[in-house]
Structure 1
């Protein structure tokens, strides 16, 4: 057999010996997710189908985008989701529990070798655990709840070998931005990315989730990492089912193979309005910033809080700079609280919000920059107007780069400030 990771999972889940890129398969889903921005469509379709929903018990309903609800319509939608979950035995994650892509693995709902679908493009995050995670629409989730299955075209795969090891102060966020600068937004459209190599093995789970998550901006159908002892330990600690890891065959067929020396990478930033207008942070030092955001499904995990705290401990944000922290889940918030990270960040001048997506997407209006103000953010997208003002700018960087920039008031290479070379292995 000659197969990639994606082909092996889709063959297994469709009951076939092997499948190949371009094949259409009807595959058994292991777990599904619908969040509040897509739930109304899912509920309407269920009512229209008037069908039994045997797979509803393996579907999570997550209240994270309109969290807390900024309108009466959103609040009513949340009430409908709560009723639906109770009636059909679905898992419910309520306001403040966290972002869908964090609470699914935290809740032990997936494991290596699974096929997981969700109503969000960043469902590719689950590939950090050697699963095939991909985004579908709310109406599609309705069909999944009724049948337990989804149809997919088997994607071509691109194997990306990350050699060496990221240097202190450089993170998976920088790698993902580098990839966007190299291939462009949607540059790997409908392909499955396999991230392998010594640099991936050296990453902790938080960084691996960032690596997989940002594949959505590349247009990837999935992003899969190999499983190892770190993967197994993390999954076991969160109550996941026994893993069924997959590894690509040596003679697997790829659309492309890439080798990147991760040890040579410097901190990166994406400039205003384009996720793929990427340069080294060193090239734009001095760019004034007014607002800093650390959080979202991409970089709202514990190591991101640690990166920021290492830089801001005992210091204050630059005059005129505001900072918001949005943990990816309630569990991450509690862990950060126990470690003293929340105290450190708050004393530095940051404000901490409940876990959720609202600030990243601009739905809850908690972060609206003024005209010509500049936001530097760990979010996954910086489209013009995303935070409610078309006259403002959004730049993207790692949590370390965002914290260093908030400290100085200008975009800053984190390696040039005290604490900016903190490493996860130091915990």
Structure 2
């Protein structure tokens, strides 16, 4: 009989505890599917004294992550501590240098040190699996790395942060402000006390950098991702999107262009008819556009103890089967450098909301400025506040919303046109600009 795979787990928080339970509960199924048993033999965490609803009978407690990584009794080191640096980095490196396989859910570490760790895995023969780092239970890493190994990918994009999707969903459905929805998300535990990492787009950027590497064979580089958060989105933008047949989502988008790989995170209008537009609440989704095949959309829980543990255990099962896939789908030395694509070169459609002075000729002046930059308009909507007579509003020259939808153009052209409109002093405040992502 084949000896069981001996697993050591560093980190016994929500995910770590769920992994221990899942391996115990699914022992027979895992053994049948993997061809050998899987046993947790040792663990470590910050505090041994902390009360846990977890039975660790028959499992040894090791004093530190590094000691666990060097422990000859384990075959597979599972890192569930988090953080982009120590102690996770040194512990994973030690495990790989000892010829052990590593499973992690640590997106921050993979985004920052993934290439370094992948080289160590290649050199010493262990696996480096990180399915849970992006999308938790959604098997997007395996899909890109293995399932689509024979398919060229043109674009990968998705909703990669449940906190932001929850906030935008509540704003749309209930007409609430960003601040109100954020406060409620914090109360429910969907958002951290300091939510900036999520709502400013950095969490999505780390995940996108990993997906872009797998999709396009580029080196993981979070610095190559353009990042913009959702705090500027107002209820009136969501109402306008709804009327125009769109929804607003925070998307991470990596796309192959003639000028290179464009990686960007920002609020995006997507057609309501698209699969990604139907994804509401804390759910995540990723769409992959491959050559010669219809778009593939993977939808599921992108966070949470049970969902993340499911992906971690699937990775451990692959180690038990003896699967040793290249972490990023190809040898590290064959991954290409990537640079941050200037957003000024981005081309696509745009939603623009302006607070324009309600005077004769204002809209015509705005349209003229856009026409000078060769920007064609798909639609123009001018609104007067409910209960206010258009003639009275015009007499007072009070600002009214003007909403423009453009055909495909460059970001640089949009900026030049709007700067000219502001110089004309026909609008008040800053224009709201949201990019449109077509199917």
TM over 0.5: no
- Shorter chain as normaliser: what TM range? under 0.3
TM-score of the superposition, structure 1-length normalised?
A: 0.27
TM-score of the superposition, structure 2-length normalised?
A: 0.26
More strand by share: 2
